Copies of this chain bind each other. A is one copy, B any other.
Amino acid sequence: MSLRHALLALIDLEPGTGYDLMSRIEKSIGFFWPATHQQVYKELHQLQELGWVDVQVENQSGKPDRRVYTLRESGIHALESWLTQDSSAAKIRDPFLLRVFAAHRLETGALRQQLAQQKNLHQATLDLYHSIDERLRSAPDHVQNRYRFARHTLRLGIYYEQAWLRWSEELDELA
């Protein structure tokens, strides 16, 4: 039920099409609130039905119409009222940790192989976080200010990936 508010937050920062919103999700909110484009398009229609967004339709030849979403007053209110509510606990689903949990049934070689693959994934994620952070650092001042908190969520991602990498070294020793 919170993809709805994720979208409000993104449109609030900058209006855009479903496609644009989706690509922004992949570089920000998606790290702690994953979504597919199918979910996004569906939710945007619901946001329109709720009257929380305005849509400007631009005709295009060969492509589907561009539907640019902007926030209405009621949308800002909805966002603000949701913001003040207490957050429920975070949920993590990590199939690799499930495998580590049962790893006494796995040969050392197979575990090391899995571990190497996961290390690559996590290192790539860390690099990605760093590159997004750098791009934000070179943005104009008023943008930096607006994205101040959004950017801080990246910091946690960076800390987490660093902790993961440290932890994986210890797992290496255990295996």
| Nearest opposing residue in chain B for A88, CB measure | B95
Q: Say how many copies of this protein the assembly contains.
A: 2
Instruction: Give per-residue flags for A134-175: 1 if the beta carbon is below 8 A from chain B beta carbons, else 0.
Output: 000000000001101110110110011011101100110010
Do residues A33 and B98 form an inter-chain contact, with CB atoms below 8 A? yes
Q: Is A132 an interface residue (CB 8 A)?
A: no
Alpha-carbon distance A163/B91, docked complex (angstroms): 17
Closest Cβ of chain B: how far from A83's Cβ, in Å? 5
**Is A28 an interface residue, CB under 8 A from the partner?**
yes
Q: Assess A5 versus B98: contact at CB under 8 Å? Given A83-B110, A86-B117, A163-B156.
A: yes
Q: Are B102 and A9 in contact (CB under 8 A)?
A: yes
> Which residues of B lie under 8 Å from residue A90 when comparing CB positions?
92-97
Q: Select which of B5, B28, B32 is within 8 A of A92 by beta carbon.
A: B32
A15 and B160 alpha carbons, distance in the complex (Å): 34
Knowing A34-B93, A84-B106, A171-B152, say if A2 contacts B163 (CB, 8 Å): no
Tell me whether A84 and B96 are in contact (CB under 8 A). Answer: no
Closest residue on chain B to residue A34 by CB atoms? B91
**A 1-43 binary contact with B (CB < 8 Å = 1; else 0):** 0100110110011000000000000001101111000000000
Q: Is the CB of B87 within 8 A of A99?
A: yes
18 A-B pairs with C-beta separation under 8 A = A5-B98, A8-B102, A32-B97, A34-B91, A34-B92, A83-B99, A87-B96, A87-B99, A87-B118, A100-B150, A101-B149, A104-B149, A148-B174, A149-B174, A152-B174, A156-B164, A159-B163, A159-B164
